[in-house]
Amino acid sequence: MTDHAEANSIPQMTLPTQTPLTDEVFAAVRAWQPEPPWKQVDSIQKNRAAWETEVTLVCADPSIVARLLARELPSSAENDIAIATMLDRVQLLAGHFQFTKQLIEVLVAGYMAPLPQERRQVVLRAITSDTSEISMRANWLTRAIRTLDFPVEFLHAWFLEVLPADGSGSGFWSVVGEFTAAKPEGALAMASIPQLDQTPIGRQLRVRLLAGLRFNPAVPSRTAEELAATLAGLAGHLDPERRIDYLRTYKEGAWRGDIPTEELRSVMETLNRATAAEQSIGFELATAIISGSSSKEHHMVVLHWLRGHALPQCTSEQKLKVAEAVWRTWKSITIAELGFDQVTLLFAIQPVAANLAGVWRDIEHTLQEMMHAEPDRFRQTVRALAQKHWRALRDALDEGKAFEWLLGELGQLPWVEAFVTGISGSTNRGERRLGAYLFEALKLQPSAGTPAAKFDTVGFRTWLAEFQTRNVYETVAAQLVAAAQRVDEQDEWMVQQFQSEAYYQCLNLPGRCLAKIRQPAATLPLLQHVVEAADAYFKTLSDLRDSPIKAQQIPSMRRYEIRKAQLDRRRMQEMADKNSIFAQAISKSYLIYGNQHAYLMEGDLSSPSGLQEFSHSFEMPRIDCIDPEAANHRQLNALATLAELRRDEESGPAEIS
């Protein structure tokens, strides 16, 4: 039997005129052809306000409900599955609004009320038989579960059947919650069923039942005593899994902020002495408290607990929870209130692997908000992060996606140049590296005359080696100009090294470096010499452009250059086709004649239009082509210098206390 036939099998009656929209909904359900009557759907859903008002009226008037039930859902109906299908259609036609759900809830409860216990159970099972709709249909059942009686054994079995099918949805957990709230004795009885221990879902059900009971003030005193005994049994159970279940019962209350502060503190203290598995519940509890509606006091209890447990060896999940806790509280709880800076928790969980995008995203959110709200604290935090955990930070930055948003906004801030220049000259390696990174990433262009501290020897060696290993491209000129102001001109070695590097860069990138440092060099004697030498170099090359020493052609090379260009074009085309959604979506035409094109579309020939050319060029680093060995060697030497400096640093006194 088709859905259509099933719907039509329901007897039709005339409705009172004071519920016109409800009438229309049910009329539309009856008129359901293989396809829904879309026009009616539109008209009902556009009348949302009137519909809401009408539903409120209907639900408040038992007589209307009774009439509706009598007409649309007579209890004589034998086909409960067809009823479920009809209610699905009502939901669809009337829209997924809270009040639509309320109407259906009332109808379902009203429908089931007069039924004998066996039939009620059949109806419940019928409604939940279609597991694909289970989450939505769970919403229809809360009133029935709350107001009607069902044997605990039946509900226990039914919950265990339905809950696994609920999957990621949480519809049925709310049914469990309603049951617990409305029937505390039944809930406690269900929680005491020993079979619940046999499956994870059974244990989860018990936790939910107990959690619902322990923070429910309406629990009768006798039940409360039994409940306390049950909880105590779990808390002191020899099996750690049972103890974990006990701890999990707090999560529900934590979410709602129901746990008394002292009790929370006590639980968290208990966790300090617990197993690692039990402690992991602490992180769950922390997230629940901080992302729920708990008080500031609760948050502070959690942050203090995290202070002792946020460690480098935390799992990625735990690190995520710490990062989230910091993000949610850094602004609402001050350092003075807390007694320490919760941002330090972000350092405590380092190193965070670059692929833990969630953790880095929360860190980015924290820093991004802080950057605008408390710039000083932001700068301090970033510097500390770079000082202590540069490698992790670098990996995350190199990963490409982390901090994109943050960097985009940071580049617009007025103090960024001074900040980056400042940390570039730091005595700390991590800060210097972050400075070098930000220089390039933010494409900063500081002008000559920016005041800066002079390099010491170690600082200069590190700057130089890092500059050489980073293959600075966009901001090469700016970085040299900034560094030129920090070179100690009394130090002959430093001057020579700097000029040699600047000369190399001028030769390597005449467009990006030489052309751009020419103007600042007028006021920077160190660079002036470099510019003069580089100009002389290019003048010589220009004079020698047609020199007989290199005028001869290289046999066969031209042929291969052409072949390579063809291959490169093909590879680029293939890559573009592969990576471009646009190229994949449109059909391709290959022109053979003509310099304009027209196309036939749906029988009409378009007017001719011209061909568009596009090209992109960038400056190739010259020395990489002229002397790749030296370029490579230079980089290897720089890496060796950095390694040597690192060894010295590790063997010497720590730079940052």
Partner 1 sequence: MTKETLHLFLSHYLSALSEETQQTVAGRRFGFDHVIEQLGVAHGWQVHRTPSHSGIGDTLPKPKKEPEHGIDYAFFSADRTALLIFVLKDEALTYKNFTAERFDTDLRRASQHDLTLPEYSAIKGVRVILAYNKNDDEEGIEEFTRLTKTLGTKVGDHATLEFERWNLERLVTEVEAKLLTPALLPANFFKSLTYVCWQVGDFTHGSNQWEEVLLPDWKELLESLLAGEVTPRSVWMVGVTLPIVRKHGKEEPAFETGWLDLAEWAMIALWRAAKRSKDEAVRKAVTAVWLETYVQDLERFYLRHGDDLGREHSLNTRTEYSFQPVAESYLAFWHLGRLGILWFTVTSLKFADTEEMKKAQGERLAQIAGWMLGLVQANPGAMRPILDVHHVELFLFWQTFYRHGETQIITQWLKDMYEHLLVRRRQSKDPLRLIASDNNWESVFEFIVSGKAPTEGYGRSSYLMLMLLELGFSLPFQNRGEYLKCFYEHLVLGQDSEGQPLGFAESVELAGWAPSKDWEDLVMADGLVRADERGVALMTHNFQQRSRRTTEPLSARIEHFVQQSRQQHPFDVSSRIPFSILALACIKTRSPLPSEYWRQLIFSAPQNPQEIPSSV
Question: Would you state the structure tokens that stand for residue 43, as one six-digit string?
Answer: 């008209």
Give the span between the Cα atoms of 102 and 104, in whole angstroms.
Answer: 5
- Site for partner 1 contains 615 (CB under 8 A): no
CB of 549 to partner 1, least distance (A): 5
Output b/e per residue, 562-589; b: 16+ Cβ within 10 A: eeeeeeeeeeeeeeeeeeeeeeeeeeee
CB of 539 to partner 1, least distance (A): 11
Q: Binding segment for partner 1 among 94-102, 411-419, 549-557, 596-604 (CB under 8 A)?
A: 549-557
Could you give the C-alpha distances from 599 to 26, 299, 586, 590, 602, in angstroms and in order? 52, 66, 13, 12, 10
Find the binding residues for partner 1 in span 491-510 (CB under 8 A): 507
Cis link prior to 194 (omega < 30° from 0)? no
Q: Binding segment for partner 1 among 77-85, 201-209, 440-448, 539-547 (CB under 8 A)?
A: 539-547
Does residue 307 sit in helix, strand or coil?
helix
Contact partners, residue 541, CB within 8 Å, separation at least 6: none
- Residue closer to partner 1 (CB basis): 31 or 630: 630
Give the span between the Cα atoms of 444 and 454, in whole angstroms.
Answer: 20
- Site for partner 1 contains 541 (CB under 8 A): yes
CB of 573 to partner 1, least distance (A): 17
- Residue closer to partner 1 (CB basis): 232 or 625: 625
CB of 504 to partner 1, least distance (A): 11
Give the span between the Cα atoms of 92 and 28, in whole angstroms.
Answer: 11
CB of 565 to partner 1, least distance (A): 7
- Residue closer to partner 1 (CB basis): 46 or 558: 558
- Site for partner 1 contains 570 (CB under 8 A): no
Question: Would you state the structure tokens that stand for residue 654, as one six-digit string?
Answer: 């720590």
What is the pattern of x (binds partner 1, CB under 8 A) and - over residues 443-482? ----------------------------------------
Of 467, 481, 500, 480, residue with least CA distance to 641 = 467
- Site for partner 1 contains 2 (CB under 8 A): no
Contact partners, residue 193, CB within 8 Å, separation at least 6: 152, 156
Contacting residue, 7, 284, 537, 649, with partner 1 by CB under 8 A: 537
- Site for partner 1 contains 616 (CB under 8 A): no
Helices and strands (DSSP H and E) totals, the chain: 35, 4
Sign of CA dihedral 212, 215, 219, 224: positive
CB of 630 to partner 1, least distance (A): 6
- Site for partner 1 contains 620 (CB under 8 A): yes
Find the binding residues for partner 1 in span 628-647 (CB under 8 A): 628-630, 632-633, 636
Could you give the C-alpha distances from 327 to 220, 309, 353, in angstroms and in order? 40, 17, 18
CB of 526 to partner 1, least distance (A): 21
CB of 625 to partner 1, least distance (A): 4
Give the span between the Cα atoms of 297 and 207, in whole angstroms.
Answer: 25
- Residue closer to partner 1 (CB basis): 554 or 654: 554
Site of interaction with partner 1 (CB under 8 A): 507, 537, 540-541, 544, 546-561, 563-565, 567, 620, 622, 625-630, 632-633, 636
